[in-house]
Amino acid sequence: MLLQGKKLLITGVLTPQSIAYGIAERALEQGAEVILTGFGRARSLTERSAKRLKAGTEVLELDVTNPAHFSALTESLRQRWGRVDGALHGVAYAPEDALGGNFLNTPWESVQTAFRVSTFSLRELAVAVMPLMTQGGSIVTLDFDNQNVAWPIYDWMGVCKAALEATVRYLARDLGPKGIRVNALAAGPLATIAAKGIPGFKSLEQGWGTQAPLGWSAKDSHDMVSRTACAMLSDWMPSTTGEIVHVDGGYHAIGAPPVDPSQDDPAPAPDAAKKAE
């Protein structure tokens, strides 16, 4: 099996619709041991999902806005496993006023929150698991590619995701000598609880399958993302780091949706144009 014997830390699991849940489920099928994280009132949802995944799956406390939680996470993992082979960073959040076309009016406090949770937390997670990746390892973060374009409605979360991609590259630079790979998985739109909080998500979702050469379904494409994430967490991509791996049906490579040239009015012949004059 692809992940036989691997010890993986998975963040970002809330409900079975979470992208991170599907990745954890597939990783268990491929022979991995998994520990999840959760915090606050939402931790009960994570614990419920953990029971569905596999009896005995642990959930450790991790509020990514609390630096003390990261050092505690390192010690908890050291006591339980002694090492970590891979980590999934599946945490992202932006306040409501940082999304939905409010870019010019978003206050710094909301931008700061979005950046702390969605971007800086990757660096903190990497630092937390680094001492336990003594034999090397793989860190994968969930992304929505924003390095070259501005998306409608995504606003400051788009800025945070662009910064996340830069963070991946710098972590790849610094952790590579330790044998630790750091990559981003850029998935197309998927039906999750988090997606419901993005204004206009439904419109984006509906147009995606039209432009993606391989097609796309927000409801049915979860497994493609999960399988790719497991490959990235495995030993089968040993020289890939600092990359954005797209799982979006090819949408990112296409400039515009398909067009039907037959719908265009043909240009008038030169003679016809002269007669019209």
- Name the band, by pLDDT with cuts 50, 70 and 90, for residue 188: confident
| Confidence check: pLDDT of 275 > 80 | no
8 A C-beta contact, residue 152 and residue 200: yes
pLDDT of res. 190: 80
Tell me, yes or no, if 93 is annotated catalytic. no
- Name the band, by pLDDT with cuts 50, 70 and 90, for residue 85: very high
Break the chain down into helix, strand, coil percent, rounded to 5.
50, 15, 40
| Confidence check: pLDDT of 276 > 60 | no
Those residues with Cβ within 8 angstroms of residue 238's Cβ, 6 or more apart along the chain or in another chain: 181
In tens, the pLDDT along 224-274 reads 999 999 999 999 999 999 999 999 989 888 888 887 777 776 656 566 555
pLDDT of res. 261: 79
Catalytic site residue from 161, 202, 251, 274: 161
Which stretches of 21-155 are assigned E, i.e. beta strand?
Answer: 33-38, 59-61, 86-89, 137-143
Spatial separation of the C-alpha atoms in residues 159 and 146, rounded to whole Å:
7
- H or E segment and range at residue 7: strand 7-10
Tell me, yes or no, if 154 is annotated catalytic. yes
Mean pLDDT computed over every residue of the chain: 91
End-to-end Cα separation, the chain, in angstroms: 75
- Name the band, by pLDDT with cuts 50, 70 and 90, for residue 166: very high
- Name the band, by pLDDT with cuts 50, 70 and 90, for residue 193: low
Whole-structure pTM value: 0.90
What is the average per-residue pLDDT within 2-30?
Answer: 96
pLDDT of res. 272: 53
What is the average per-residue pLDDT within 97-108?
Answer: 95
Catalytic site residue from 6, 7, 154, 251: 154
Strand-pair category, 33-38 with 59-61? parallel
Strand partners, 10: 36, 88
Angle between helices 19-29 and 43-53 (to 10 degrees): 30
Spatial separation of the C-alpha atoms in residues 176 and 105, rounded to whole Å:
39
Burial of 229 (C-beta count, 10 Å sphere; 0-12/13-18/19+): buried
188: region left, alpha or beta (phi > 0 left; psi from -120 to 50 alpha): beta
Spatial separation of the C-alpha atoms in residues 245 and 143, rounded to whole Å:
9
| Confidence check: pLDDT of 95 > 90 | yes
8 A C-beta contact, residue 125 and residue 190: no
